Amino acid sequence: MPRRCSFKLELDFPQPLAGVDEAGCAPLAGPVVAAACILDRSRFPRGIDDSKNLPIEKRESIYARLVKVSAWGVGVASVEEIDQINIYWARMLAMTRAVEALGLEPAWVLVDGNACPKWQRPSKAIVDGDAKCRSIAAASIIAKVTRDRIMANYAREYPGYGWETNRGYGTPEHWRALHALGPTPLHRRSFPKVRAVIEKDLQPGLVFEIVEGESSESHPPQLESQQAVETQHLVAEERPVA
């Protein structure tokens, strides 16, 4: 099957061009992480594709090369911010922070999805951009690997939920642990099903199903993006107090 992920969609835009994508909108726990990446078209890792299409070993290998030969930045929106402004606006906030963390202002930004953050820089949203646009795909790899590592670290702090493998998504293992152990400070209390567990409104034996776009009302955020701008080679967020 021919590879669709290429520079083709990028050729009409001025350089330097940044691709932006995020990871972690659907999970029940943990932050949402975004990345911005400016590729050097004369030297870039081969095999760049949507991070969801790559085996973990290949994704990690490409990530290791990407961070050496490209300009990149990472932005994180915390669980507290997700609960305060909802997951949609937390995603936008993380993407804004990622571009700000590049250390340079791109001439244009291509964003995965159907909307761009409310910023002044020239940009365009591309639906399924991580499967079509090489720079967005590169950003998806950086965001995914970064968030996976964050959740693996949290799994040591909060064992039993399986975050080292499920990364906070609502797998059966995660749901069982949530009922048996209760929520952690990293669970998204604004998500209705997490809130229902906390309030003990769910009945035994109920089958859970992840609903895409959960808790994504589009009310404007009250946070300034400068509050927690991530630096290019530092991915950190304030850990919640247990």
Tell me the pLDDT tens digit for each residue of 130-146. 999 999 999 999 999 99
Total-model pTM = 0.83
Q: Which pLDDT band holds residue 167 (cuts at 50, 70, 90)?
A: very high
Q: Which pLDDT band holds residue 202 (cuts at 50, 70, 90)?
A: very low
Residue 217 reports pLDDT greater than 90: no
Give me the percent of the chain exceeding a pLDDT of 70.
81
Q: Which pLDDT band holds residue 205 (cuts at 50, 70, 90)?
A: low
Mean pLDDT value across the chain: 87
Residue 96 reports pLDDT greater than 70: yes
Alpha-carbon distance of 115 to 213, in angstroms, equals 14
CB 76 within 8 A of CB 239: no
Residue 211 reports pLDDT greater than 90: no
For the ranges 143-147, 193-197, 217-221, the maximum mean pLDDT occurs at 143-147
Give the pLDDT mean for 46-70: 96
| Domain 8-153, CATH | 3.30.420.10
| Segment 106-109 long-range contacts (CB within 8 Å, at least 24 positions apart) | 106/16, 106/17, 106/18, 106/36, 106/38, 107/13, 107/14, 107/15, 107/16, 107/17, 108/13, 108/14, 108/17, 108/18, 109/17, 109/18, 109/19, 109/20, 109/36
Residue 203 reports pLDDT greater than 70: no
Residue 165 reports pLDDT greater than 80: yes
CB 93 within 8 A of CB 221: yes
